[in-house]
A and B are shown apart, each in its own frame.
Chain A
Amino acid sequence: MTARAVLQQADITRALTRIAHEILEQNRGIDGLVLLGIPTRGVELAERIAGLLTSFAAAENPGWTCPVGSLDVTMYRDDLGRNPVRSTAPTRLPAEGIDGKTVVLVDDVLYSGRTIRAALDALADHGRPAAVRLAVLVDRGHRELPIRPDYVGKNLPSAASERVNVRLTGTDGIEAVTIEDGGSAA
């Protein structure tokens, strides 16, 4: 099996920067923004985007820090019975909560859309945001639900048999997005 790099570290940084700009643009500023990463790698991505947003907004909003947290969706998944039991992860919401906020969900790879479906359910149990947006580093297609991302780092058309791996410095020590053929990679 061969692994092919599709994004290097610099590409990832560039993609996150662009996403941060797009968020500010669409939101017309920082009002009510909350970023929630979906464990595991969505959390690191959310924190990095939040850091970028904080620095981009610093000129006009000194002292503002972009609220960021994590949203574990494990207990809302619809495929629990199809796999060995998954470990849960902590959910950490920013102190200001999510009611009336614009929540940007952040994940590494968008595929079937089922994780995001679970995230929307989980979110509803935590409160009532004014709007929910979705940012992903990679959109590889093959949606099974009517879900689309608002911010995409890279569109990556792939075959269902291929496997997309995201590695991030904070989680994995190295940083790259690779694609492998042949189904059963671990």
Chain B
Amino acid sequence: MKHLLSTRDLDRDTAVRILDTAEDMAATQQREVKKLPTLRGKTVVNLFLEDSTRTRISFEAAAKRLSADVINFAAKGSSVSKGESLQDTAQTLEAIGADGIVLRHWASGGPAVLARSGWIASSVVNAGDGTHEHPTQALLDAFTLRRRLHGEASRGRDLDGVSVLIVGDILHSRVARSNVWLLTTLGARVTLVGPPTLLPHGIADWPVTALHDLDAAIADTDPDAVMMLRVQRERMNEAFFPSAREYSAGWGLTVARFAALPERTVVMHPGPMNRGFEISSAAADSPRSTVLEQVANGVSVRMAALYLTLAGGAE
């Protein structure tokens, strides 16, 4: 695997292979000596053209656990975001000796443009691009869900028949897009729930069901997992919904709604959370919340992504 750009182009076997590799990586993280020599001598550049301390730290930890040298290049608002082109930046980083570029980009398709440009020979791992995809987030979500469902027996398994609700601002969410493709490729039944203003136009052919009523969706789909998306309060100024209160009442995981979920349903959130808005503290802090597991699993999944894109030679 030369690049990891999206979950849309992962087939089932490749997706399971990444998750299984992440299981092996996770096992090493239980040891006293957590560091592996695997990527010794390789250089990974975290090129973050948009702020995300959480994702950057997760990738940095993953690269360091694999003994790669890590260079962090954060450039929000600097020359790179406008004047200096992606081409110039990437070529500079490669001249420094980058073997892999972990790219967070504010523009949808930034990593795809870099990967197919011919400007560089490095591998490209998409760390979130615009409102397109965030593949490692979806992989860690799937990993977390698979572990909750299958525990030690997770290796080799997919998510066949698992019911997942993804709730909130689907329109602007790269996490939602990546999860739609990955979870359905792994056999899950995915239902998107949100106000019509926050569901993309043109998803009739997506392998999902789109609903507007969260309570009805919970009742009808008997979900194994409810994934709450972060919703920016500013969206109400753009008339996507009338007020934070109305959003919360309709699409938030309130205390009452959380209490009404089936016993086995886990609660997921990619973070950072708006407590009291899209998710109540009762839900976020409950044992059924996977929020902190997701963070921990993020390192293992990103180790797997870096291993699979950077460790091998020519195929």
Contacts and interface: CB of A to CB of B under 8 A. Distances in A.
Contact of A80 (B20, B33, B311): B311
Contacts of B36: 75-76, 125
B308 interface: yes
B38 A75 contact: yes
A82 interface: yes
A121 B312 contact: no
A85 B312 CA distance: 4
Q: How large is the interface on A (under 10, 10 to 19, 20 to 34, 35 or more residues)?
A: 10 to 19
A4 interface: no
A158 interface: no
Contacts of A91: 24, 27-28
Interface in A60-105: 72, 75-76, 80-91
A20 B308 CA distance: 38
- Most chain B Cβ neighbours within 10 Å, of A76, A85, A87, A126: A85
Contact of A90 (B27, B307, B311): B27
Interface residues of B, number: 24
Given A84-B315, A87-B17, A88-B307, A76 B24 contact: no
Contact of B1 (A85, A86, A88): A85
Contacts of A88: 20-21, 24-25, 307
B234 to A, nearest CB: 42
A85 B37 contact: no
Nearest to A118: B37
A88 B27 CA distance: 12
Contact of B313 (A72, A80, A87, A89): A80
A90 B308 contact: no
A81 B38 contact: no
Interface in B12-53: 17, 20-21, 23-25, 27-28, 31, 33, 35-38
Contacts of A90: 23-24, 27, 155
28 contacts: A75-B24, A75-B28, A75-B37, A76-B36, A76-B37, A80-B38, A80-B311, A80-B312, A80-B313, A81-B311, A81-B312, A81-B313, A83-B312, A83-B313, A84-B312, A85-B307, A85-B312, A86-B312, A87-B17, A88-B21, A88-B24, A89-B24, A90-B27, A91-B27, A91-B28, A121-B37, A125-B31, A126-B33
